[in-house]
Amino acid sequence: MKDNKLDSILPVDEEGYYGDFGGAFIPEILHSNVERLKEAFARYADDAEFNAEYERLLADYVGRPTPLYHARRLSEHYGTNIYLKREDLNHTGAHKINNAIASVLLAMRMGKTRIIAETGAGQHGVAVATVCALMGLKCVIYMGATDVARQMPNVERIRMLGAEVHPVESGNKTLKDATNEAIRDWCSNPEDTFYVIGSTVGPHPYPLMVARFQSVISREIRKQVKDLTGRDLPDYVVACIGGGSNAAGAFYHFIDEPSVKLIAAEAAGLGIDSGKTAATMKLGSVGIIHGSKTLVMQTPDGQITEPYSISAGLDYPGVGPLHAYLAESGRSEVIAVTDKEALDAAFRLTRTEGIIPALESAHALAVLDRKQFGKDDIVVVNVSGRGDKDMMTYISRLNQSNI
Ligand SMILES: *Cc1c(COP(=O)(O)O)cnc(C)c1O
């Protein structure tokens, strides 16, 4: 990494490297586009008027700050002090709206009139389509044909919001293929189109931008821990990782506080040795995916391996370069959580606290079963989203085992 840090907290240099990870591996045709994006982000990231508009929308439209909730019965069960950061209570049901709003505000400052995005389970697509409806912008969402079929309620929400859903028929017809197609669209429409990426992935400056736009999560946690416990810092912050945006947001203001332990829960699927897994940080090797050098699940000759997880939001064969760096440097601890562990954790939270979490968030909650916490520890778990979209999976689990 070069000495020149681009962010007051994140260990990122001017080329977008986090240690050996990151950068911008993009086709020539996108160079000027990415340059203009970097300039716009540098100009507006700390702009008072931009941030005032962003914060007003977070407060009045999204419903922030989200509560930091002391989960009393869950804390008793695990013999520690558990606080849940309730991103599930955001408008549209997950953290993704935080980034969608800031990204679309930036697009408007840049004079863009057409917004595109990729989506897997549909949560990012819904968030972007929502903000485009709010702002009166044209919106196209790329989604793998397989995902279109299995995530129908979100597809219909996107259409009702006035956006166009573009099913992608190439490859495995899932998130990776939708992302390729969105990049292709951006190459063909560099003038009027802004590409809103839904996680801390993609070429620089996206991982930095998305982390910054999600950092409101840890800014609130810090203040709320102080207000609720009188302590300056929690002992642990736990979050699930697909591409890494909710974790980046939950970790951000604690990254340079070494006493705060950061735990990243990735999806082990049926088990990390099963061949049906999305445990990228445990199993991946250095490669390039969607414009970024990072850990990638791949064969020895560099073919990307198809990932698997019960949770569509964690079903990605790469991971954001920030998280590859935090894991490799030992700053974060990575725990790979199986489908079954996540399901058990979702039912435990539901039945002890009356909160049905997203399957993605259930992976973070499952960490409570894997680690022993002290009775005075303060453990913050980021509940990235709510479980409405996962009811079919939860119902089939209920019917199978009578729990
Ligand atoms: C999309 C999604 C995730 C995974 O994405 P990250 O960028 O890793 O946060 C996690 N939880 C929910 C609820 C999601 O919708």
* Residue 45 C-beta-side C-alpha neighbours within 13 Å: 19
Q: In a mutational test of the pocket of ligand 1, which residue from 96, 310, 356 has the highest number of ligand atoms less than 8 Å from its CB?
A: 96
**Protein residue closest via CA to atom 13 of ligand 1:** 385
- How many Å lie between the centroid of ligand 1 and the Cα of residue 87? 11
Residues with CB under 6 A from ligand 1: 94, 96, 123, 199, 240-247, 313-314, 358, 360-361, 384-385
Q: Among this protein's residues, is 341 annotated catalytic? A: no
Q: Which amino acid is at 21?
A: F
Instruction: Specify the pLDDT at position 4.
Output: 62
Q: How remote is the CA of residue 320 from the centroid of ligand 1, in Å? A: 12
d(C-alpha 207, C-alpha 71), whole Å: 32
Q: How many angstroms separate the alpha carbon of residue 361 from the centre of ligand 1?
A: 8
Q: Active-site residue 329, yes or no?
A: no
User: What was the pLDDT predicted at 151?
Assistant: 87
Cβ distance 323 to 241 under 8 Å?
A: yes
Catalytic one of 85, 103, 118, 266: 118
**How many residues does the structure list for the chain?**
403
The CATH number given to 65-93+215-400 is 3.40.50.1100
| 65-93+215-400 and 31-58+96-210 share a CATH fold | yes
Distance 266 CA to ligand 1 centre (A): 11
Contact 135, 160 (CB under 8 A): no
| Most ligand 1 atoms within 8 A of CB, residue of 237, 240, 251, 292 to mutate | 240
Is 401 an annotated catalytic residue?
no
Which of 245, 251, 390 is the best mutation target for the ligand 1 pocket, counting ligand atoms within 8 Å of the beta carbon and taking the most? 245
The residue ranges of every structural domain in the chain are 31-58+96-210, 65-93+215-400
At 2 the pLDDT is 43
> Distance, CA 367 to ligand 1 centroid (Å)?
16
Could you tell me the distance, in angstroms and rounded to a whole number, from the CA of residue 230 to the centre of ligand 1?
Answer: 30
Q: Is the Cβ–Cβ distance between 356 and 84 less than 8 Å?
A: no
Per-residue pLDDT of the chain (403 residues; tens, 9 = 90+): 445 678 999 999 999 999 999 999 999 999 999 999 999 999 999 999 999 999 999 999 999 999 999 999 999 999 999 999 999 999 999 999 999 999 999 999 999 999 999 999 899 999 999 999 999 999 999 999 988 988 899 999 999 999 999 999 998 898 989 999 999 999 999 999 999 999 999 999 999 999 999 999 999 999 999 999 999 999 999 999 999 999 999 999 999 999 999 999 999 999 999 999 999 999 999 999 999 999 999 999 999 999 999 998 998 999 999 999 999 999 999 999 999 999 999 999 999 999 999 999 999 999 999 999 999 999 999 999 999 999 999 999 999 876 6
Q: Choose the catalytic residue: 38, 85, 87, 96.
A: 96
Q: Please report the atom of ligand 1 found closest to the CA of residue 358.
A: 13
- Residue ranges of alpha helices (H) inside 189-329 are 206-214, 216-229, 245-251, 280-283, 321-328
Q: Which residue's C-alpha comes closest to atom 7 of ligand 1?
A: 245
Per-residue model confidence (pLDDT) at position 401: 77
Is domain 31-58+96-210 in CATH 3.40.50.1100, yes or no? yes
pTM above threshold 0.85: yes
* Ligand 1 atom with the shortest distance to the CA of 214: 9
Among 397, 347, 337, 402, smallest CA distance to 371 is for 337
Phi-psi group of 213: left, alpha or beta (phi > 0 → left; psi -120 to 50 → alpha; rest → beta): alpha
